[in-house]
Structure 1
Amino acid sequence: MSPSVKLLSVATAAPPHELPQDQALEVARRLFGHRFAGFDRMAPVFDTTGIRMRHLVRPVDWYIEPRGWPERTEAYLQGAGDLFVEAATAALDEAGLTGAEVDMIVTVSSTGIATPSLEARAMDQMGFRPDAVRVPVFGLGCAGGAGGLALASRLAASSPGAVVVMVAVETCSLAFRTDELTKANIIATALFGDGAAACVLRAGEAGFAQVTGLAEHTWHDTLEIMGWKVDPTGFGVIFDRAIPPFVKDNLRPAMDQMLAGQGLAVEDVDRFICHPGGTKVVEALESCLDLGQGALDQERAVLADHGNMSSPTVLHVLDRTRRAGMPARSVLTSLGPGFTVSTVSLAA
C-alpha cells in the first residue's frame, strides 16, 4: 500500500465470567437433553471443538432464563462497551498514545445493536476528540477481524499521519437461545464466546508490521452458509455445518487469485494468521493451503482458551503470533457471512 501503513500495536480483552467447556456441556444437557431428541448424538461436538474455556459477559446462570431484546441489548451495551474500552485503552497504551490523539475509530461488531454506536458511547471515557471520525461496521461476522483491519488500513493510507484505532468486539453468548431446538443452536452453544481486540495504525510510522496488501472474495449463492436470523426474541444463528468442506474445496482458488494480485503465491507466505472458526475449520485451512497438520498452532491455542469469538478471534491470533516473533511475510485472513474471505498481507 502507498503510503506505507504500519501496525503500531494490538491488544486483546476478555470478559470476566469463565465457562469451562465441560460446564457448558452440563448446562446444555440440562436445558436441551430432555427436549431435543438428537442431543446425545450432538453432545460430542463439545469435545471435538478443541475448546477448553470460554469467557462471557454475564454469569452462566443469566443465560438459563428466557431473555428478550431489551435484556440482551442492555447486556450488549454494558458488556461490549466495557470490552471496547479495555481493548482500545490497552492498544493505545502500547502505542504510547492517548484517546485525544485518535483521528479515526473503526468499530466492528455484529452481535448487538447500539445506536449511538459503541465508540460514541465510549467518547468521554476514552477521551476521544469531538472531531474524531467514527466508522461503525455491522454485519461482517467472523470475517470482521480481517475486514475491519483492511478498512482501517485504507483509512490510514488515505490520511497520512492520522491515528486510526480499530476495535473488534463481540458478545456471541447473547445470541444463546433456550427456545431454539436446532442443530445450529447446539453447535453455537458449543463453539462461541465473547471477547475483543484492538489495533492502532498510522501511515509512515514505525511499527511491528507493515500492511502490504488487501484483498477480499465473496462467493456467489452462499448467503445461507452462516449469519443471523432476527425474530422477536433476538438473533438466531444460521450456521451450516458444511463450512469445513466448503473451505477445503473453495478457499485455495480464491486465495491464489487474491495473492496473485499482489504478485505473490501461497508458497511465498511464511505464515497464514487465520481465524479459527473451529477445529474442523482449522484442519480444512491447513489442508487447502498445504500448511501441514498442526501448522496453525496459535489458532488452536486461541480456540482452546477463548472459543470462537467471531471478529476479534483472528486478532487474538495476531497478538500471539507477533509475541512469538512476526514472520517476514504473513497473511491475516478470516471467513464470515457473505460467504466472504478477507485478507490483510503483512511484512515484518
Structure 2
Amino acid sequence: MATLLSTVREIRRSQRAEGAAAVLAIGTANPANCVSQEEYPDYYFRVTKSQHLTDLKQKFKAMCQMTPTDKRYFHHTEELLDAHPDFLCRGKPSLDARLAITAVAAPELAASAAAKAIAEWGRPATDITHLVVSTNSGAHSPGADLRLASLLGLRVSVRRTMLYLNGCSAGAASLRLAKDLAENNRGARVLVVCIELTIVSFRGPEEADAHPHTLISQAFFGDGAGAVIVGADAVHTIEHPIFEMVSASQTMIPGTDRVLTMQLTEAGLDGHIFTKELVPIAAQHIDQCLTDAFQPLGVMSDGATLWNDLFFVVHPGIRGILDHIEGALQLETGKLVASRTMLREYGNMLGATVIFVLDEQRRRMEEDRGMRGEWGVMMGFGPGFTIETMVLHAVDSNTHNKN
C-alpha cells in the first residue's frame, strides 16, 4: 500500500505545472454596428417605435448623458429588430428567436476575438488543450463552445467548459477557472472566451416606466467578445507571458442577492439592477478583499500606500462603482484609467469587459515602460453580490525593473 501511495503521489506531481499560470495572449472583438451614446436615445426610441413616449425619452436621454460612455457596439441592427417586432414587447414570447440568433452570432464573434489571441500567442490552435467559454447570451447544449471549437479548428480532444449567466463577473470567474486548469494540468493551454450579445435582453420602453430596470440596461450595456490564452511554464522561445496569475479568490457579500439579478424568461433575458444599493457595495468591501488577497503573499504595507503601488484591472460596471472604489482605497488619479477608458469606448459588455480592461492595461504598460505597478489586481463584480479577486504580476514590468 505504501508503494502504491508513493506512486500516486509521484503521478500527481508529474501532472502539475511547475510554475504559476500566466496570461500569454489577449484578443478582443466587437460587432460592426456602432451607435454613439449621444445619438442612442433617438436611435432607441425610433427602432422601438416609441417616439410618442416623449417624457420617457427625455428621461432616457438624461440617463444616457450621465454615463461616461461615448459609443457602444451591437450585433442587432435596425433591420434585424424590424424583422422581430416581438423583441420590443415584454409581454410577447421571444426567447426562442433570440437564442436562435445568438447560437450563430455568438460563436462567430468569439472566434474573431480568439483568432487574434491565437495569432499573438504564436502557436497553432491545435495546441489548445482546454476551452472555457462564458456568456450571458445563450442557453444551448451543445453550446457556443462546440461551435467555436469547430470554427477555430481545435482538437476533438479539447476539454470544454461552459459558464452561463455569471453576469459581469463572468470574465474574472472564467480566468480563475483557467488558472486552476493550467496549474493542475502540465502543459495545458487554456483558451478563455467571453461573449456578450445584448439582443437577448433588448426590449422597448414601457408606458409610465413600469419597469425602470429596462431603461437602465438599455443605457449601459453593449456587445463584445474577449479571449485570453492561459498557460504555465511558458515555452520561452515562442510564448511571452504578460501577467502571472498569482492567486484567485471569490467573496460573496451576505444579504445582497437581490441587488443584481438575471433570469431567462419567455420574453428574453431579464433582471433587476438596484443601482443605488449596488454602487456602494463593492467599495464597502474592496479593501478587505484586497487585504485578504495580498496578506498571505507577504507583500502587505499600509493600506492606501500599498494600493497605490498596484495596477488595477477592474470591471467598470458603471462610473459610480469606479468612483466609490477610488474613494474607498484613496487611489491616486489615473489608477483606474484602463477601466474608465474601456467604459467610455465600449460601455458595459458584461463578462467580456474585464478582458478589454486587461488588454488596455497591457497596452498602457507597454507604452510606458516606467509605469509603476509590478504587482496588480484584477476584480470582477456580479450577481450574488459576488466579488472576484485575482492578484497579478506583470512579467514585462518585472523584467524592465530588474534591468
TM-score (norm 1): 0.93
Question: 1:321 aligned to 2:361?
Answer: yes
1:97 aligns to what SS in structure 2? coil
Are residues 1:9 and 2:25 paired? yes
| Partner amino acid, structure 2, of 1:289 | L
Q: Deviations over 1:217-276 (max 9, x none)?
A: 111121111121332111113211122122233332333223324334451552111111
Give the secondary structure class of the aligned counterpart of 2:227. strand
Correspondence 1:120 to 2:157: no
Give unpaired runs (5+ residues) of structure 2. Answer: 1-16, 88-93, 235-239, 367-372, 395-403
Q: 1:244 to 1:164 in 2, by over 3 A?
A: same
Question: Using the alignment, how far apart are the partners of 2:258 and 2:51 within structure 1?
Answer: 27
Asked whether the equivalents of residues 41 and 60 of structure 2 are also in contact (C-alpha less than 8 Å), the reply is no
> What is the match of residue 171 of structure 1?
197
Alignment map for 1:1-348 (pairs within 5 Å): 3-30=19-46, 31=48, 34-35=52-53, 40-63=58-81, 65-67=85-87, 68-178=94-204, 181-205=210-234, 206-242=240-276, 243-265=278-300, 267=306, 269-325=309-365, 327-348=373-394
Structure 1: segments with no counterpart, 5+ residues: none
**Cα RMSD (Å):** 2.1
Residue 37 of structure 1 deviates from its aligned partner by 6.0
Contact 1:58 / 1:75 at 8 angstroms: preserved in 2?
no
- Stretch of structure 1 that moved more, 307-316 or 17-26: 17-26
State the shift of 1:146 in Å: 1.1
In the alignment, the residues of structure 2 paired with residue 263 and residue 214 of structure 1 have an alpha-carbon distance, to the nearest angstrom, of 15
Counterpart contact for 1:229–1:238, Cα < 8 Å: no
Equivalent residue letter for 1:131? S
Whether the aligned pair in 1 keeps the contact of 2:135 and 2:196 (CA below 8 Å) is yes
Equivalent-residue separation in structure 2 for 1:202 and 1:233 (angstroms): 40
Return the alpha-carbon distance in structure 2 between the equivalents of residues 338 and 172 of structure 1.
21
Which SS does the other structure have where 2:38 is aligned?
A: helix
Q: Is the 8 A contact 2:338 2:357 kept in 1?
A: yes
Q: Is the 8 A contact 2:21 2:179 kept in 1?
A: yes
Pick which of 288-297 and 120-129 moved more.
Answer: 288-297
Find the aligned partners of 2:345 and 2:81 in 1 and give their Cα distance: 21
Conserved 8 A contact 1:89-1:126: yes
After alignment, is 150-159 or 238-247 more displaced?
Answer: 238-247
User: Contact conserved, 2:313 with 2:379, CA < 8 A, in 1?
Assistant: yes
Provide the C-alpha distance between the structure 2 equivalents of 1:136 and 1:163, rounded to a whole number of angstroms: 17
CA distance in 1, matches of 2:151, 2:264: 32
Q: Is the 8 Å Cα contact of residues 25 and 229 (structure 2) preserved in structure 1?
A: yes
Give the Cα separation in 2 of the matches to 1:61 and 1:223. Answer: 37
Q: CA deviation at 1:36?
A: 8.6
Write the distance in 2 (CA, Å) between the matches of 1:36 and 1:218: 41
Q: 1:46 Cα shift?
A: 0.2
Greater CA deviation, 287-296 or 317-326?
Answer: 287-296
Structure 1 residues 250 and 102: alpha-carbon distance in aligned structure 2, compared to 1, 3 A threshold: same
What does residue 90 of structure 2 align with? none
Cα 1:47–1:179 change in 2 (3 A) is closer
Q: Percent identity?
A: 24
Indicate conservation of the 8 Å contact 2:205/2:214, yes or no: no
Q: How far apart, CA to CA, are the structure 1 residues paired with 2:381 and 2:328?
A: 14
| CA 193–83 in structure 1, closer or farther in 2 if over 3 Å, else same | same
* Alpha-carbon shift at residue 295 of structure 1 (Å): 2.9
Q: Secondary structure at the match of 1:4?
A: coil
Shift of 1:111: 2.2
1:39 shift after superposition: 5.1
Partners of 2:311 and 2:361 in 1: CA distance: 9
Query: Shift of the alpha carbon at 1:329?
Result: 0.8
CA distance in 1 between counterparts of 2:314 and 2:292 reads: 18
Q: Secondary structure at the match of 2:69?
A: coil
User: What is the TM-score when the length of structure 2 is the normalising length?
Assistant: 0.81
Contact 1:119–1:134 (CA under 8 A) maintained in structure 2: yes
> Matched residues in 2 for 1:293 and 1:287: separation?
10
Give the CA deviation at 1:114. Answer: 2.2
Q: Is the 8 A contact 2:312 2:335 kept in 1?
A: no
Letter matched to residue 66 of structure 1: D
